[in-house]
Amino acid sequence: MPTWLVTGGAGFIGGNFVLDAVQRGIKVVNLDALTYAGNLDTLSSLDGNPSHVFVHGDIGDAALVARLLREHQPDAVINFAAESHVDRSIDGPAEFVQTNVVGTLSLLEQVRDYWKSLDGSRAADFRFLHVSTDEVYGTLGDTGKFTETTPYAPNSPYSASKAASDHLVRAFHHTYGLPVLTTNCSNNYGPYQFPEKLIPLIIAKALAGEPLPIYGDGLNVRDWLFVSDHCAAIRRVLEAGRVGEVYNVGGEAERTNIVVVQTICRLLDQRRPLADGRKRESLITYVQDRPGHDRRYAIDASKLHGELAWEPAITFDEGMARTVDWYLDNAPWVQRVMDGSYRLERIGGVA
Ligand code: NAD
């Protein structure tokens, strides 16, 4: 049974990735600091499963990471751990630098030393996969797409910190030979996403019949990818990606924010109409734009399509319907995030 050390596996994408990996017969050691974004409820179906070892800790804790690597001898390390919310990075950038830059550097140093200790074939097969974002490339006009050779031009403290981590990962390959892979993915959506991000936030507010805030004119464009397609891309890159390479991951599903919100309104009106008969689109409220808000992101994923034959399996319409249905069917998960009990109950409960 292969063993993977996954960091940030109690978060949105990491959580989906861990649930899937364990189901596929991988043993997962899951290192997560359980910030506000880490949620063990997401992993409750793995309680008591010996293929999932949860460790409460920081990627920047060098002694802890060294011990985990020594004890569990993973075949790969997949780094999801990060501060990930752009708005929070505007209010407090320092934490983003701490985890995304300093933490990733510390993790890389420990992984490099572990990798050097492996014997020939295990060292050759080992991989460090760094999960990153298309936001490192900055913003696009009405046309064009980001490719793997687009110059980095991050515009928010979040994307700047992710860009710095990408550069460190690249440097560890060129300087020390560490077998790294980097994926730069577009916006994800799907089950278990923390309701501060656009899609789950709008679902929660629309369900409650509250105003639906949209930044600026609502015409900012993102390329949306259903989270299980991102997880599949990461597995594929891990399995067959060329060491040292970067792979862009995207859904070819560019949508303006207003279209995303209108889609949610329509799906919820069909499934759970408001008691007073109002259409949810009437709740849309334009609010002051985010400072430095990137206008458009679009991913050219042809390298991943061509080299590794990865294609997204789920269309935007299907993914949005699945996502809305998941939030409707999992109200207790959302409720425990909203009332904060997802954090309180684990105090003292995690080794
Ligand atoms: P998330 O905020 O939902 O989860 C991050 C997880 O990392 C949380 O469980 C948190 O507790 C953990 N964490 C934070 N600091 C840590 C530290 N110092 N040590 C250990 N664990 C720590 O984020 P997400 O949306 O799941 O994103 C995961 C990764 O994917 C991030 O690196 C992000 O930059 C990248 N990414 C996200 C998207 C997206 O649309 N969400 C798109 C592309 C790339």
* Residue 188 in contact with ligand 1 by CB distance below 6 A: yes
The mean pLDDT value for 335-340 works out to: 94
* Residue 5 in contact with ligand 1 by CB distance below 6 A: no
Is 135 among the catalytic positions? yes
The whole-number pLDDT of residue 156 equals 96
Provide the pairing of β-strand 187-189 with 221-226. parallel
3 state SS of 80: coil
Q: Give the E-state strand segments of the chain in sequence order.
A: 3-7, 27-32, 52-56, 76-79, 127-133, 180-185, 187-189, 212-215, 221-226, 246-249, 254-256, 284-287
3 state SS of 27: strand
* Residue 53 in contact with ligand 1 by CB distance below 6 A: no
Catalytic residue among 134, 252, 254, 294: 134
Confidence of residue 345 (pLDDT cuts 50, 70, 90): low
Mutate to test the pocket of ligand 1, among 5, 7, 13, 342 (most ligand atoms within 8 A of CB): 13
Domain 3-344 coded CATH 3.40.50.300: no
CB 305 within 8 A of CB 148: no
List, for residues 174-184, the tens digit of each pLDDT value. 999 999 999 99
Give the closest residue (by CA) to ligand 1 atom 27.
13
For the chain, domain boundaries: 3-344
Distance 32 CA to ligand 1 centre (A): 10
The ipTM (two decimal places) reads: 0.99
- Among 193-197, 267-271, 309-313, where is mean pLDDT lowest? 193-197
Catalytic residue among 32, 58, 75, 158: 158
What's the pTM?
A: 0.97
Mean pLDDT of the chain: 96
Distance 339 CA to ligand 1 centre (A): 21
